């Protein structure tokens, strides 16, 4: 189709949200097969059902496998985070808003899991917004004598993402009106052409770290994370049902998270290495599809993290014996502040392009509320953009 306005519809003259524009025209393009993209597509579908307006959704991404960060993520959901107060608010709202799982019959992939914060400092630095009162405990109770202090927090949950994501992708792809497309979109011009051809007025980019190339958004970087996957049957109690979080955050070991639905425990975390060059992305992608081509710095990092785990949690030595564990690595879409904004008209013209991203390792913690608010942002008018430069969010009344 040559026009972005469908027959029988009229372009909006007042500031309009992504959700409103998609429902008005009955069409939308969504880019990204991570957890944020899944929530965007599901919310568009459920809202169309609620207001009895059918919608066609073109859902585009390079891959829907372990090369997408969400397919190998740790999936811990503790409703607190320091720093950006929006993250804390989204986290609290999201904790009880994982409707996507219950509505699609996938509720078994999320389970309650208390957390223990560990530190070598004199006191445990509990972040603000903690949902329950932290209880001081002896680290030795959790086979962690390396640490000097510990705090037990009864609230929290674990999403078994490794097993969930393929099933979630399958369920969302089969929703009426959803059309998955595997395609690499090189730049914003290609995205605008695709949106026009589909007959949509709006496109939502939830492409994770790839947004830095697709939208030329240098605020987003690929933060390399490594996860060791140990057989849950080899992990002693209570480490098989609680989350351990290293509150010191000095080294690569940051957590131990049991995925009961997946049958393993995730050990590891962020490596502190940022990946920004296209050639590095290609190299890392080859290693994920062909183990014999894993970059040498990844295998060295895996061994370094394993050594640190054994130093801090020697009780896991049987689970991390050579040949007894697997590992996964991926790039988390990290930004200094979470991004939810419309791309300026001088780059998109009549097509509205909404960017949602920069969640880093918080995707499974904030996605439901973050997506709900992002899709409710009204697109600034041309006059507003001329006054304010970068788009300014216009909240629904």
Query: What are the DSSP E strand ranges found in the chain?
Result: 27-31, 56-61, 76-77, 110-112, 115-119, 135-137, 149-153, 157-159, 178-182, 202-205, 221-231, 243-246, 255-259, 264-275, 325-342, 352-359
Q: Cα–Cα distance between 268 and 381 in angstroms, integer?
A: 45
User: Are 23 and 48 contacting, i.e. CB atoms less than 8 angstroms apart?
Assistant: yes
Q: How confident is the model at residue 392 (pLDDT cuts 50, 70, 90)?
A: very low
pLDDT at 128: 65
Q: What is the pLDDT of residue 223?
A: 84
Which of 227-244 are b and which e, b meaning 16 or more Cβ less than 10 Å from the residue's Cβ?
bbbbebebbeeebebbbb
Residue 82 has pLDDT above 60, yes or no: no
In the chain, what is the straight-line distance between the N-terminal and C-terminal CA atoms, in Å? Answer: 34
Percent of the chain having pLDDT more than 70?
Answer: 90
Residue 6: predicted pLDDT: 46
Domains of the chain (ranges plus CATH)?
114-156+221-334 (3.30.9.10)
pLDDT digits (tens, 9 = 90+) for 302-321: 998 999 999 999 999 999 99
CB-based contact 193:353 (threshold 8 Å) = no
DSSP-based three-state secondary structure for 110: strand
Report how far residue 4's alpha carbon sits from residue 197's, in angstroms, rounded to the nearest whole number.
8
pLDDT band for 12, please (50, 70, 90 cuts).
low
Please tell me the pTM assigned to this model.
0.89
Classify residue 3 by burial, with Cβ atoms within 10 Å: 0-12, 13-18, 19+.
Answer: exposed
Query: What pLDDT does 395 receive?
Result: 43
What would the pLDDT profile of 23-62 be if each residue is shown by its tens digit? 999 999 999 999 999 999 999 999 999 999 999 999 998 8
Torsion region of 127: left, alpha or beta (phi above 0 gives left; psi -120 to 50 gives alpha): beta
Per-residue pLDDT reduced to its tens digit, 87-108: 888 888 888 788 899 999 999 9
Encode pLDDT of 203-256 as tens digits.
999 998 888 888 988 888 888 888 999 999 999 999 999 999 888 766 667 789
Three-state DSSP class for residue 184: coil
pLDDT value for 10 = 52
Range scoring the smallest mean pLDDT among 119-133, 159-173, 339-353 = 119-133
Q: Break the chain down into helix, strand, coil percent, rounded to 5.
A: 35, 25, 40
If one counts every other C-beta atom within 10 angstroms of the C-beta of residue 119, the result is 20
Task: Based on DSSP, count helices (H) and strands (E) in the chain, helices before strands.
Answer: 12, 16
């Amino acid at each position: 189709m040559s026009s972005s306005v469908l027959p029988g519809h009229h372009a909006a003259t007042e500031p309009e949200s992504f959700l409103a524009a998609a429902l008005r025209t009955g069409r939308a393009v969504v880019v990204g097969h991570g957890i944020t993209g899944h929530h965007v597509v599901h919310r568009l579908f459920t809202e169309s059902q609620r207001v009895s307006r059918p919608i066609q959704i073109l859902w585009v991404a390079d891959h829907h496998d372990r090369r997408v960060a969400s397919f190998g993520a740790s999936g811990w959901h503790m409703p607190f985070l320091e720093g950006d107060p929006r993250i804390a608010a989204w986290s609290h709202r999201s904790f009880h808003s994982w409707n996507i799982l219950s509505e699609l019959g996938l509720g078994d992939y999320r389970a309650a899991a208390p957390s223990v914060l560990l530190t070598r400092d004199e006191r445990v630095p509990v972040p603000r917004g903690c949902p329950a009162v932290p209880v001081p405990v002896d680290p030795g109770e959790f086979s962690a004598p390396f640490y000097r202090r510990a705090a037990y927090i009864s609230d929290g949950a674990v999403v078994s993402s490794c097993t969930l994501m393929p099933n979630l992708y399958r369920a969302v792809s089969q929703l009426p009106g959803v059309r998955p497309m595997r395609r690499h979109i090189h730049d914003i011009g290609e995205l605008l052409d695709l949106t026009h051809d589909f007959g949509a007025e709006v496109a939502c980019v939830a492409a994770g770290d790839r947004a830095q190339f697709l939208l030329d958004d240098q605020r987003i970087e690929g933060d390399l994370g490594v996860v060791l996957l140990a057989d849950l049957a080899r992990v002693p109690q209570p480490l098989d049902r609680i989350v351990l979080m290293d509150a010191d955050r000095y080294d690569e070991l940051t957590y131990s998270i049991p995925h009961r639905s997946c049958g393993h425990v995730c050990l590891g975390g962020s490596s502190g290495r940022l990946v920004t060059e296209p050639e590095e992305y290609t190299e890392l992608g080859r290693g994920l599809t062909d183990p014999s081509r894993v970059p040498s710095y990844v295998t060295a990092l895996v061994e370094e993290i394993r050594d640190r785990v054994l130093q801090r949690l020697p009780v896991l030595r049987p689970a991390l014996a050579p040949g007894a564990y697997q590992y996964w690595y991926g790039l988390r879409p990290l930004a200094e502040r979470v991004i939810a904004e419309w791309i300026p008209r001088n780059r998109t013209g009549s097509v509205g392009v909404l960017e949602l991203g920069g969640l880093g390792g918080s995707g499974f913690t904030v996605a439901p509320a973050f997506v709900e608010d992002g899709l409710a942002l009204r697109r600034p008018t041309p006059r507003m953009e001329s006054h304010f430069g970068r788009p300014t969010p216009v909240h629904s009344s």
